[in-house]
Chains A and B, each alone.
Chain A
């Protein structure tokens, strides 16, 4: 199984400059927080999903659906208990608290999906180039993209090691929480040892390929901000400004919610 999220498709979203995609990602982190009303947040969610559809990236939802599902279930319950409002609904739950919970759940889901779309359409190398073009030193940019790469690698190693230990009779599913954590030792130690070992080879290989040998470097991937990037960015800024204006004008809020 390929542990990376990136999908090698040729959509106009893929072709955007990595900097544009980074700005869009940041913007998508901000947009759902403009509104409190779950219906308005739902609009933002629909927008993100449509964008993901255009980017042909929604197949990756299959890989994270469980996390999203848990967020959608747990968050509203949590806020219904913790928050309070004016209109009683049933038992001790108030309408406003539930609605707020729904908004929050959607906000988290939006951020996760936006991140997913970003990783589905942007290569690690593009992340690095984008950061370099924004003035960040290459060493740091490379570290960021390596971290992105390392996560799936560790997950893959963990899966193999899990199989090895389960073959020896390790059962992770039973016992109380403390027992369960202790049971993970047979997984964590080999994952750690293997990761350190392969990271060591990795850094030797980097040095042996001249990493950091010269102050400057060139890039194989060709990136440039074009007309499409400008249009997308302008459209997004207009959208964000529009949403803020709506909210200031009194739409999309949630009256009567208190913590």
Chain B
């Protein structure tokens, strides 16, 4: 049978780039298959996606070699619009893809382009909204949907064209854990249909268990193309490719099991653990709990005090209600919650961007309303989620120097603080570079440095790891950890659960504008049911530990407490 897609020696170099994005990719995808593509940032994963429907070579100008065939037809031979009916493409940035004034119109746009009759269109809108579980949302404005709902709508708008091949480029990057799950439930349904071929680019290993095959790309080349469970057991290959290995799998790998025996999920892990007669040492586990308590004693006095905070938007919608919270010097606090739960609204009160409707927020003992935004910025630095929302200078140095300069600091002193900040984020000596030429991970670091340059006591980070690959996420969080150990108080808003488990000390779960849970990370992650109610999920290793009766936070901790029976 003819393959759904075949790449024949595909090489591509974008115009103005020295390095090719893809070099000699040969791969076939059979009809009805579910293939996941993984690899580090810049490996060429998105390039692979846009070559599927002819955006390469028709939309992008660059140098293409080899062929891409969609059900036998070369993408060179037709316009993008012609291939759109065969290949549905959903991009990572779902915000930029949605443009209609209501959900039904968004879904109908594709069929409209193909001059589908109105009755048929109505049928399709109803059917695909059912498939992505957005029934009843027909008249909603896309802007009012949650992140997960928006991404599902983006998928529906492509499904309505009824393509035989569907390609999703990092569909879950910006979503909370339950939002991610929603996307993968859709993928699973589609997988069961023989007439739909699914190609998904994904960072999260936990979500790829159901794939038929995993292709690993590195520097434009395929380094692995094997059945999913086989690739997932190859811990070293994944680590070398900046992909996070499954935690349970890594645990057993580190314990010395050979590849073929490695369990993948927490359930498989628990069974294997028991079969081998291993056990958790209660004494060693107790030491972990004691270390948590000892760390707590080391904190200084309170730096941020929130009392009865209520925030109402000008249109009357309540975003926060009766929030009480204290942050002490030296803490590493994670603020968790579903998209739209109010967690960002909460932290925006800490540096004075928002003023409480009711209640008080005190920073350094003084109410935020009495301190200006600029003075507060001296105490509380805020790194926004998207570094591109703040970078504007021609050089990295100028960008980082913006804060000190605007506060009227002397040139020598500015220079000193900028150098110090750049060193803290491992960008020393790169002050003359153009920030727009850096990778996303590096731009993120520039954004952190530009906040560090005014030496704030408290650092707020909004989704610091979104859009970064595993290696970049690790190095970003190791940086944050070292800042914390050097004395900074850290507040991180995030929905990357393993980051919370491994790095944060304490967590607050915000749900519908209220604090639903707070405690040490170990305590929070032991409450798996409550977490699920807040659209959050524990990482695999935590679930594994919980199932054994001992909450652990990382693979390293689990290794530490394991005893052979």
Contacts and interface: CB of A to CB of B under 8 A. Distances in A.
Interface of A: 1-4, 6, 8, 123-125, 146, 149, 157, 160-161, 163-171, 185-186, 188-190, 193-194, 197-199, 201-205, 207-214, 216-222
B482 interface: no
A160 B313 CA distance: 15
Nearest to B108: A220
A194 B388 contact: yes
Interface in B149-172: 157-158, 161
Contacts of A2: 141, 143-144
A218 B105 contact: no
Contacts of A188: 392
A178 B321 CA distance: 42
Given A168-B451, A213-B82, A205 B115 contact: no
Contacts of B392: 185-186, 188-190
Contacts of B100: 124-125
A91 to B, nearest CB: 41
A186 B402 contact: yes
B118 A218 contact: yes
Contacts of A199: 96
B454 A169 contact: yes
Please name the 3 residue pairs, one residue from A and one from B, whose CB atoms are nearest each other, closest first. Answer: A213-B81, A220-B108, A189-B392
Given A198-B96, A204-B55, A222-B118, A168 B84 contact: no
B85 interface: yes
Contact of A207 (B80, B315, B382, B406): B80
B55 A208 contact: yes
A61 B423 CA distance: 51
Interface stretch (B14-22, B87-95, B357-365, B513-521): B87-95
Nearest to B167: A208
A122 to B, nearest CB: 10
Given A167-B373, A204-B59, A207-B55, A221 B114 contact: no
B121 A4 contact: no
Given A163-B353, A167-B353, A1 B313 contact: yes
B451 to A, nearest CB: 7
B50 interface: yes
B389 A190 contact: yes
B389 A166 contact: no
B104 A149 contact: no
A201 B91 contact: yes
Interface in B510-551: none
B388 A190 contact: yes
Interface in B392-418: 392, 402-403, 406-407
Nearest to A191: B389
Contacts of B208: none
Contacts of A185: 392
Contacts of B193: none
A209 B373 contact: no
Given A167-B377, A189-B392, A216-B115, A208 B101 contact: no
